[in-house]
Amino acid sequence: MNEQISINDTTIDSLGECTYPSPLKISKFIDDSQRIAIDIEAHLLEQSFHTTGTIASFENAGPRKKIFFNPETTRAAIVTCGGLCPGINNVIQGIVRMLNFQYGVKTIYGIRYGFEGLVKRYGHSFIELTPAFVHDLHEKGGTVLGSSRGHQDEKEIVATLTEHGINILFIIGGDGSLRGAYDIYQEVKRQKLPIAIVGIPKTIDNDIWFVDKTFGFSTAVSTAAQAIYAAHSEAIGAKNGIGIVRVMGRDAGYIAAYVTLASNEVNYCLVPEVHFDLEGPYGFLTHLEKRLYAASHAVIVVSEGAGQEYFTGPKETDASGNIKYGDIGLLLKDKITEYCKKRQIPVTIKYIDTSYLVRSVPASSDDAVYCIMLAQNAVHGAMAGKTGFVVGSWHSYYTYIPLSLVTKKRKRIDPNGYLWSMVKQSTCQPDFSPPQ
Amino acid sequence: MNEQISINDTTIDSLGECTYPSPLKISKFIDDSQRIAIDIEAHLLEQSFHTTGTIASFENAGPRKKIFFNPETTRAAIVTCGGLCPGINNVIQGIVRMLNFQYGVKTIYGIRYGFEGLVKRYGHSFIELTPAFVHDLHEKGGTVLGSSRGHQDEKEIVATLTEHGINILFIIGGDGSLRGAYDIYQEVKRQKLPIAIVGIPKTIDNDIWFVDKTFGFSTAVSTAAQAIYAAHSEAIGAKNGIGIVRVMGRDAGYIAAYVTLASNEVNYCLVPEVHFDLEGPYGFLTHLEKRLYAASHAVIVVSEGAGQEYFTGPKETDASGNIKYGDIGLLLKDKITEYCKKRQIPVTIKYIDTSYLVRSVPASSDDAVYCIMLAQNAVHGAMAGKTGFVVGSWHSYYTYIPLSLVTKKRKRIDPNGYLWSMVKQSTCQPDFSPPQ
Amino acid sequence: MNEQISINDTTIDSLGECTYPSPLKISKFIDDSQRIAIDIEAHLLEQSFHTTGTIASFENAGPRKKIFFNPETTRAAIVTCGGLCPGINNVIQGIVRMLNFQYGVKTIYGIRYGFEGLVKRYGHSFIELTPAFVHDLHEKGGTVLGSSRGHQDEKEIVATLTEHGINILFIIGGDGSLRGAYDIYQEVKRQKLPIAIVGIPKTIDNDIWFVDKTFGFSTAVSTAAQAIYAAHSEAIGAKNGIGIVRVMGRDAGYIAAYVTLASNEVNYCLVPEVHFDLEGPYGFLTHLEKRLYAASHAVIVVSEGAGQEYFTGPKETDASGNIKYGDIGLLLKDKITEYCKKRQIPVTIKYIDTSYLVRSVPASSDDAVYCIMLAQNAVHGAMAGKTGFVVGSWHSYYTYIPLSLVTKKRKRIDPNGYLWSMVKQSTCQPDFSPPQ
Amino acid sequence: MNEQISINDTTIDSLGECTYPSPLKISKFIDDSQRIAIDIEAHLLEQSFHTTGTIASFENAGPRKKIFFNPETTRAAIVTCGGLCPGINNVIQGIVRMLNFQYGVKTIYGIRYGFEGLVKRYGHSFIELTPAFVHDLHEKGGTVLGSSRGHQDEKEIVATLTEHGINILFIIGGDGSLRGAYDIYQEVKRQKLPIAIVGIPKTIDNDIWFVDKTFGFSTAVSTAAQAIYAAHSEAIGAKNGIGIVRVMGRDAGYIAAYVTLASNEVNYCLVPEVHFDLEGPYGFLTHLEKRLYAASHAVIVVSEGAGQEYFTGPKETDASGNIKYGDIGLLLKDKITEYCKKRQIPVTIKYIDTSYLVRSVPASSDDAVYCIMLAQNAVHGAMAGKTGFVVGSWHSYYTYIPLSLVTKKRKRIDPNGYLWSMVKQSTCQPDFSPPQ
């Protein structure tokens, strides 16, 4: 399933020997040597064993018997970067509670407005994070710390860390921010500083490589499902009613795919990973026309990153350096309108753009539990002096994965894989391109 | 409070004498002479009594002891017109159950796709509405019958009614559709046909004259409140974050006003009834700038019909003949962006347009009960041979009001009234115009 | 509709002349002479006018142009008594915001644990209520102040008020607590103290006389509707499945009645106001047996106070002096089980008791707005030196009603009235007693 | 982690050679030889490989290229057994849609009221399951087929299957019903009939061995979280307020544990797997007393099966043969009341029993997707002639596991494992028993 991963790729960096006993009052600790197989299909495992004498694996997350940092003197900081995602506040709460209650770390800074808050000239002050401050955070969407997009100079950031005596920096962020985290980690290493840099992957798109599922994703799907409900109501509420729902998903269509499976009312699911012809005998419009004749309505869900090849103008970029995508929902609306006008098919199109409604809701129970798990394991790793890694889940184990590996590429829906085949079965949609 | 209403304005038309005993097994019936005062402030009542010797009043809705239509031979039809609104299906269900279970009317047609379904050449067939068919309808948003916009010829509609022997037509629709209902009623009258034309006012904007509150409105407010939550999360999630939420409300800002009161996080509420300067010392932008300096974020809720004077291009109209409004949310976004760019204030603006998400959700319990009440009272009036009226609620009584009266003008927020003063107290916003 | 109310019954007591100008920046104030008719049916109004030359009316709530208390020196306090109800925190928030932001009253005490908090020997300290403290309260169920049941000595309470220089006491409480409020008011009057005693009626049962609807009621109904959904699922999930839902309602069955109308799945609704035979030809059990034969399932909703005549043992009382009711849900379960066992009818009974789940949820948008309205009007009245009154809503106006009047008796469902007839039509249940 | 599983334990039985080509229009099929490792910790895998030369594994679920049953002549049936659980209707819908749309199996019977529906003398008739019939099922809690508890004779059941020419029986049921499924499978085998017996594990307790998570569990947790919210509101709403929430979990405390992690407001979590002393220096009551002094309130969540050793009377059993458990929530309430009365600690205890409210809600989006996945994979296996197995998920792969294996024992929380240690960290509760 996964391309060749070398043992180096999966090895976590460490700040040094663990000399302090863990203050945790538990009976089972995890040992660094405990690892989780990357591929778990039996024949792949056997093959790998026969070829290399070993099994590619990730380090198992969890509390270590001995830790690197002295809890009494340790100072931690938490920063949240990039767009909102359900569960950010839960992760913050989980980190603070674990550090304070279990490890006895009392100084925890909340960094304001993303990496900006670690760059002096912006003038943002820190927030003291205490159990009392985070008490209700699990009930709130958004991020209590504020966020921002864009790159900041890693040297300036490291200067701030040293100035305030910060030993551990938790970075809750997506692909771009994790690359920023990697740069900070490299700069810390260059300066040989005893500072742990720890990432907690945050992306509503669920597109982090080697992470089963990112936090907030399932909450996002369940919120997006309300838009499908609305679109379906609108669609059947008019003769030839068409409901278009645009959901998040710049390069990965997971939200679109899952909301399709969850809703049972989606007739077309369009994602960035799978090209669709608009025109022509295999085109989407041709198929839609037939469906309108047969069923008098249609529901379309489309990822924001789908069909970007249909936008031909010059591209802008946002503060994070991401290319601003054309609004594929509007384009579909226009193309359908034009197509149907030509053929004198009366249609009523309702377009719903879900983005900001989906990403700011409080985490579901599932995501709440998941966020605590990630937060606690991030703390365990950090206190043990591990650095330059993210905490993730893999085959339902919690794992530590080097930042260098997870930022190498992004997870995508496999157009030939199981998920996409299920989506097509659910929608009964064909491939919108000529057979090859 | 209300301008002079004459006795004629409030008199309901009737198809003739009621000769059949009501089949309802209840002990209390309402008499046509039972009426509800229009103005209920004591000094207005006394004044009116002294002047005219009488009190302006509406007919009290409810079951009559004798009815006009023979249940055994009566055929009813239900049509839903215009945009979606939470509770339409509940009203349909309530009408069918009351007609069938209590009055014994077994033939009830569901008309498809609004008034189109009553015009032969569209070729839409009727749906047989039975208790079994409507059993789960209260759980579903939208309209099971489908809807459409736009005027249809009343002669063609009346021809369809007579052809199918329909005695009662229930029209669930908004301002435009009620005007259509009035035309049909007039045509029926011209032809001296024994057909009752009954309206159930449906408008998510809550702007029907002499109706306390339209069904679906409270559900809409509670759904729109989720968007305020999202906008607030986004706003505080960034330095100088601004969340803009556009809500329905073409000419009346009730949704914007109520969601402001319900949410406690709105800093600016802009409605069609109250002009706001954008620029200048009293302008919205100037005030917003000060707020950003003081509080670093802002949440704005705006009715779709607010600030239309800022759109200067030519106007289009939709199928209902309504002028298509400019997107005031986008305009605000652009104006704020431009203003802040000039002054080098970094801002992050998130715009949420709620419309289709709000109007297609299932009715809340409150609205569900209200819909049943309206449906039942509509049936009581129709079976008693009343025609050319709508059912409404007034000072918490259910009333019958002539179509001629309710279509005369629309309800608006009074800029000097109690509701708007509460909104201003809640947001702490000033008047955005020079003092007069 | 209402029995004879004299002018004295509706007259609000006042602490003295209003000499301070209102600091409110609004253009419309309400005058004490503005009043709202109690009965608004036209013939009753005319009759009353002819008989007495006047119209029975309540004082219209709202801001007065001149006020009694000097905002700069005024100290207010808020106490919450009795059981939880959705919206208590919203009322607290609304009072604090109106007092602080609009009137400029800066000293507001939150009293802990009900009337106990006003009795020195309990040793509860006050909470300082500020806009910051109440900022998120509208999102939270329960009461941030805590509550308690039971009577406390009014002399001790008044001693505490004077000791702390409290000028206004807002009491958020139900029937018993309002009677307590009345006692405090009387004691204050006896001592000729310039302290305003203001009630905001809080009862999830919606049984306050001369108040259209109490806050929290509609939230409670919508939450209880989830239990009906569950009971219906359970009932149809088994052959002869029976779902029993017990809802709050000691003496008034409004929750049971409204949840029945809202849900459309209830087959039997039993309330305290309407006696039901269990056994015999007209008895509930006989009818249920027939229904099981016909439909194989049944959903029953029952108020906690219904059928208390079937409990024959000695009665206990709680701290508020209320008699502890027998669990009518369990009794029905036992009686049905026994009856069906005798007749060898296999049944599966699922019993759901909703009470604590319903009363602690956050207020719905509707209730949130209503709570603010009540809170603001309570403040307006108090600042104008009115005392010994509650704020309510009557025919959709906000009114001030003397404590002496509202505590005289409780609102009940009229077994011959419109609401109960609608419930019977919805459930198709007969009277469970011999015809009279 | 898992005890020794032999290759025989994991081998799926098959009805014979697959000779029909799959009608599925997909490009990737799963081969019977594709298997998923049971233990995936690298050192266990290596150790197992060194010792046995092989790796313990489960068969990977999914569509097979060749199938056993001829879709044109195949008749399938679905039966739902035992208590309700969110998602049952989704599984039914998923099976029907996959069978009908993708495989072309048109005859699908819905069996009424559990195994009873397969025993002639009960006289329940079948329901024809079509895509139209199941269209809205994903929105509904409960089971559209009805259910029942208890064992039925497998010979009678198999007689019914043969009489109606049923080739595949899908059994959606819990531990007891899967043991029933195993008996039916054995009887079918004894008679050498070509009938596939397929289980989909349904248990809200999440206690199926070798299944990561059962469907409905996450929905149940999120619904139970509402009760925690209520209990917390009640607890802080009174001086020494105590909220007790009883949740499902006869022998496994997963719901209690997860709702504790999700809610952040639980102070005590009591589960069947972990003994707790009530009295004595390490006892629960002693600790609770200290907490009341320190924090004035407490929230307790308890599994129905916890502390059953405190019930000493004779045990009854239900129709499924399960012992009826004593109500541990009531017992705790009584014990706390008694304990506090003795020590003159005034307490206010509110007890919430969640069971029937939690199990009948519609499935969440997450569970909806999961149910479809399980349903589809159950169909793939059945069409390929596999029998005597259940479909489950293991380390995020879908797997086929022999009925003989999954019914051997039940999953439990490990008192020394990671989950329980997280719960204890979340609640800060000690072991309620003397240190060993």
Residues B118 and B12 in one domain: yes
For residue B351, list chain A residues with Cβ-Cβ distance below 8 A.
356
Nearest-Cα residue of chain B relative to residue A236: B146
Alpha-carbon distance D121 to nearest alpha carbon in chain A (angstroms)? 37
Within 13 Å, how many C-alpha atoms sit on residue A93's CB side?
29
pLDDT bracket for residue C3 (50, 70, 90): low
State pLDDT tens for residues B24-33: 988 889 999 9
Residue C2, pLDDT > 60, answer no
Count H helices and E strands in chain D, helices first.
12, 17
pLDDT of residue D3: 57
- Higher per-residue confidence, C325 vs C201: C201
Suggest the residue from C1, C35, C45 to mutate for an interface test with chain B (most B CBs closer than 10 A). C45
Suggest the residue from C263, C357, C359 to mutate for an interface test with chain D (most D CBs closer than 10 A). C357
Given A331, A360, A389, which residue is the final one in a domain? A360
Would you call B190 exposed, middle or buried from its count of C-beta atoms within 10 A (0-12, 13-18, 19+)? exposed
Q: Name the pairing type of β-strands A397-402 and A389-394.
A: antiparallel
Given A325, A341, A360, which residue is the final one in a domain? A360
Q: Tell whether D327 is within 8 A of chain C (Cβ).
A: no
Cβ distance B55 to C37 less than 8 Å, yes or no, reads no
Cβ distance B234 to A351 less than 8 Å, yes or no, reads no
d(CA B59, CA B252): 26
For B128, other C-beta atoms within 10 Å of its C-beta total: 10
Q: Which residue has the tokens 């509460």?
A: B422
pLDDT of residue A3: 56
| Mean pLDDT along residues B108-119 | 98
Residues A386 and A372 in one domain: yes
Q: Which ranges of D248-327 does DSSP label H, i.e. alpha helix?
A: 254-263, 284-295
Residue B238, pLDDT > 50, answer yes
Q: What share of chain A is helix, strand, coil (3-state, %, to 5)?
A: 40, 20, 45
Residues B111 and B176 in one domain: yes
pLDDT bracket for residue B3 (50, 70, 90): low
In a domain, residue A132? The reply is yes
Measured distance between the N- and C-terminal CA atoms of chain B, rounded to whole angstroms = 24
In a domain, residue C433? The reply is no
Query: Residue A400 is inside which H or E element, if any?
Result: strand A397-402
Alpha-carbon distance C126 to nearest alpha carbon in chain B (angstroms)? 25
Within 13 Å, how many C-alpha atoms sit on residue A159's CB side?
8
Residue B1, pLDDT > 50, answer no
Query: Distance of CA D320 to CAs C226, D177, D306, D323, Å?
Result: 28, 9, 20, 9
For A335, other C-beta atoms within 10 Å of its C-beta total: 18
pLDDT bracket for residue A222 (50, 70, 90): very high
Q: Name the pairing type of β-strands D297-303 and D107-110.
A: unpaired
Indicate the residue of C113, C232, C357 with minimum beta-carbon distance to D239: C113
Q: Which residue has the tokens 């203001």?
A: C198
CATH code of the domain covering residue A227: 3.40.50.460
Contacts within 8 Å (CB) and 24+ apart, D307-313: D307/D270, D307/D276, D307/D278, D307/D331, D307/D332, D308/D272, D309/D275, D310/D278
Query: Distance of CA C185 to CAs C393, C400, D19, Å?
Result: 22, 15, 90
pLDDT of residue A1: 43
Residue C8, pLDDT > 90, answer no
- For residue B363 the two structure tokens come to 């009715």
State pLDDT tens for residues D388-412: 999 999 999 999 999 999 999 999 9
State pLDDT tens for residues A382-430: 999 999 999 999 999 999 999 999 999 999 999 999 899 999 989 999 9
Q: Cα angle vertex A284, ends A283, A286, to 5°?
A: 70
In a domain, residue B336? The reply is yes
For residue C421, list chain B residues with Cβ-Cβ distance below 8 A.
26-28
Structural domain including D292 reads 218-360+416-427
For residue B124, list chain A residues with Cβ-Cβ distance below 8 A.
239
Q: Tell whether B346 is within 8 A of chain A (Cβ).
A: no
CATH code of the domain covering residue A188: 3.40.50.450
Contact criterion met (CB below 8 Å) for B221 and B227: no
Q: Which of residues 236-265 of B touch C (CB under 8 A)?
A: 258-259, 261-264
Dihedral class, residue D146 (left if φ above 0, else alpha if ψ from -120 to 50, else beta): left
Q: What is the rounded average pLDDT for all residues in chain A?
A: 95
Question: How would you write chain B as a 3-class SS string?
Answer: CCCCCCCHHHCCEECCCCCEECCCCCCCCCCCCCEEECCCEHHHHHHHHHHHCCCCEEEECCCCCEECCCCCCCEEEEEECCCCCCCHHHHHHHHHHHHHHHHCCCEEEECCCHHHHHCHHHCCCCEECCCCCCCCHHHCCCCCCCECCCCCCHHHHHHHHHHCCCCEEEEEECHHHHHHHHHHHHHHHHCCCCCEEEEEECCCCCCECCCCCCCCHHHHHHHHHHHHHHHHHHHHCECCEEEEEEECCCCCCHHHHHHHHHHCCCCEEECCCCCCCCCCCCCHHHHHHHHHHHHCEEEEEEECCCCHHHCCCCCCECCCCCECCCCHHHHHHHHHHHHHHHCCCCCEEEEEECHHHHHCCCCCHHHHHHHHHHHHHHHHHHHCCEECEEEEEECCEEEEEEHHHHCCCECCCCCCCHHHHHHHHHHCCCCCCCCC
In a domain, residue C432? The reply is no
* Range scoring the smallest mean pLDDT among A95-104, A366-375, B310-319, C44-53: B310-319
Q: Which of D13, D153, D175, D205 is catalytic?
A: D205
Residues A163 and A182 in one domain: yes
Q: Facing residues of A58 across strands? A: A36
Residues A16 and A162 in one domain: yes
d(CA A56, CA A54): 7
Contact criterion met (CB below 8 Å) for A273 and A307: no
Query: Residue D170 is inside which H or E element, if any?
Result: strand D168-173
State pLDDT tens for residues A252-310: 999 999 999 999 899 999 999 999 999 999 999 999 999 999 999 999 999 999 999 99
Contact criterion met (CB below 8 Å) for D384 and D64: yes
State pLDDT tens for residues A328-366: 999 999 999 999 999 999 999 999 999 789 999 999 999
In a domain, residue C114? The reply is yes
Residue B268, pLDDT > 80, answer yes
Residues D315 and D379 in one domain: no
Q: Which of residues 87-146 of B touch C (CB under 8 A)?
A: 93, 98, 101-102, 138
Residue A2, pLDDT > 60, answer no
Q: How many domains does chain D have?
A: 2
pLDDT bracket for residue A25 (50, 70, 90): confident
Q: Cα angle vertex D200, ends D196, D202, to 5°?
A: 150
Residues A50 and A36 in one domain: yes
Contact criterion met (CB below 8 Å) for B325 and B269: no
Q: Tell whether A50 is within 8 A of chain D (Cβ).
A: no
For residue C373, list chain B residues with Cβ-Cβ distance below 8 A.
422
Residue B301, pLDDT > 50, answer yes
Residues D382 and D277 in one domain: no
In a domain, residue D3? The reply is no
Of A306, A432, A406, the residue nearest A38 (C-alpha): A406
- Higher per-residue confidence, B435 vs D340: D340
In a domain, residue B334? The reply is yes
Query: Distance of CA D243 to CAs C147, D3, D228, D333, D336, Å?
Result: 15, 40, 8, 9, 11
In a domain, residue A427? The reply is no
Cβ distance D57 to A42 less than 8 Å, yes or no, reads yes
Nearest-Cα residue of chain A relative to residue D395: A395
Q: Tell whether B36 is within 8 A of chain C (Cβ).
A: yes
pLDDT of residue A120: 96
Cβ distance C141 to D229 less than 8 Å, yes or no, reads yes
Query: Residue D181 is inside which H or E element, if any?
Result: helix D175-190
Q: Which of B205, B207, B251, B367 is catalytic?
A: B205
Percent of chain B clearing pLDDT 70 (strictly above): 99
Is the Cα torsion angle C70, C71, C75, C80 positive or negative in sign?
Answer: positive
Residues A367 and A353 in one domain: no
- Higher per-residue confidence, C254 vs B313: C254
Residues C71 and C176 in one domain: yes
Q: What is the pTM of this model?
A: 0.95
d(CA D414, CA D76): 39
Of A419, A371, A418, the residue nearest A262 (C-alpha): A419
d(CA B284, CA A365): 41
Interface pTM, i.e. ipTM: 0.94
State pLDDT tens for residues B164-191: 999 999 999 999 999 999 999 999 999 9
Given A332, A360, A388, which residue is the final one in a domain? A360
Indicate the residue of A34, A42, A428 with minimum beta-carbon distance to D35: A42
Q: Name the pairing type of β-strands D13-14 and D348-353.
A: unpaired
Please indicate whether residue A136 is annotated as part of the active site: no
pLDDT of residue C317: 80
Of B284, B290, B294, B297, the residue nearest B332 (C-alpha): B284
Residue B315, pLDDT > 90, answer no
Residues A45 and A193 in one domain: yes
Residues A15 and A159 in one domain: yes
